[in-house]
Structure 1
Amino acid sequence: MITNIFQIDKSRGFTRMDNDLYEALIGAELSGRELRVALAIHRLTAGFNQDSVKVAALYVAKMMYTEEGRPEAERANVSRAINSLIRQRVLYRDGGSRDPISFMPPAEWKIDQKSTVLKYTHCVENIPATVLKITHIKDRNTNTTPNGVDVAADATTPAEPTPDASSPEPTDKIPYEQIRSLYNTILGGKLPRRMGLNESDRKRIRGTYNLKLEGQFVVREKGLEFWEGLFNDALNSNFLLGLNNRSWKADFEFLTRASAIQRFLEGKYDAA
């Protein structure tokens, strides 16, 4: 008799999931963290016979991580995952970070398509033309495939050239329009949209590529991934969105200044 099979104890109860929602989550191209957050929200809604739930990111992080200190460390990542799911219309929240969350009908989901970053040119190919997957400005690049499998360098893999970190970023490699497009896609509904770029914008962005903190060129080394993470973090900052005593809001010009980015990386702006 097989004894290592998990036996379902019906006395513990069950959380029912709508079949359409279940199948949509199975087929959705979500990140692992996004899927876990979605499951946590489902547990807190359907599991308690509620259509929506008012829950803090820290509480969800405690559901996902049990190690001491880990939930606190992951709270910001969970907050960004919630925001990503809202942007992709998997979840719905009418209001700010303290308002209830519910699921959108799967037919209305707008899941991001995968994108390919060309390492040698720092250009981005979108398949199709959609926004990139959510990343965070403090995440480190890893040597992995899109499926998360580690890639070991071998004789058939050409060595990637090492850039000269001491030299300025060549201007023809700075994706000005992609940066503007990311800003409008992520923040256009909350902050003033940027409809075009002038030479002052390009000069300011070029300057940010030489921002160096703790020995690293933090913008140059991550390219578009940095800007995507920055704009998503700004979307979680109440202060930058205008919830401050001056009713001041950030804009494209502000978020592309080297001085503002440095203050952001130093944690000077509160996150939701």
Structure 2
Amino acid sequence: MAASQQQSSPENERLYQWIVELSNPEIRENALLELSKKRESVHDLAPMLWHSFGTIASLLQEIINIYPAINPATLTAHQSNRVCNALALLQCVASHPETRSAFLQAHLPLFLYPFLYTVSKTRPFEYLRLTSLGVIGALVKTDEQEVITFLLTTEIIPLCLRIMESGSELSKTVATFILQKILLDESGLSYICQTYDRFSHVAMILVRSVAQDQIPTLENGKIKCNVFLKSQKRDFRTSLVEFLPGGGWSFSLAAGSADYEL
């Protein structure tokens, strides 16, 4: 046990040193890289980051510094890699049970939304969007009501829908996962069905994605949520048929243990 503690002590010292270095812009880049490599192996890295003086502010500074490179689209691969290392650390904070609630209360996801609005197809921008989606995906993966409640106050649904239409394959997958998690929550479901325009837009994108085989996270084109079943109460079911492509195929909707075909 003593030997194990001796071995871990230098490692902890390196972690603390890298965290301290985050506050210094001149040496921050290497600290971002090294800490991002440790986010999976160091269980308590998120609390260490959150409770360290100036650390979260330093990560936000990295994000804000990239905003001018978004429009006009001048983001370089080096800039993208650097800010994505900062985003990876924020994802660590977002996914940890001890820091997730504080992460939401600080409204930190909103700092990522400008990246999700970008449309450039270059690799630096694709990587930036995918990593930003990963932070939101880490939040919804927990299935906590607090997360969904927060996201419904933001523009995450239209952002995900747009990425599902025009993003890269990986970005579409993560955006679909986020939307699915929202739809599987009762409050998210109610939000989608609140107005016809909102429902029809979501339904149209989902049907297009199924038709184009772009939803690998939804089993064989079956949308496992109650949104379409619940929509029958609002006479939306008939409207959904308008979005179904021709060709004689049926669109199977799963709700609980029963399947419904239009």
Q: Above 0.5 in TM-score?
A: no
Taking structure 2 as the reference length, what is the TM-score of the superposition?
0.28
Q: Which has the higher helix share?
A: 2
Taking structure 1 as the reference length, what is the TM-score of the superposition?
0.27
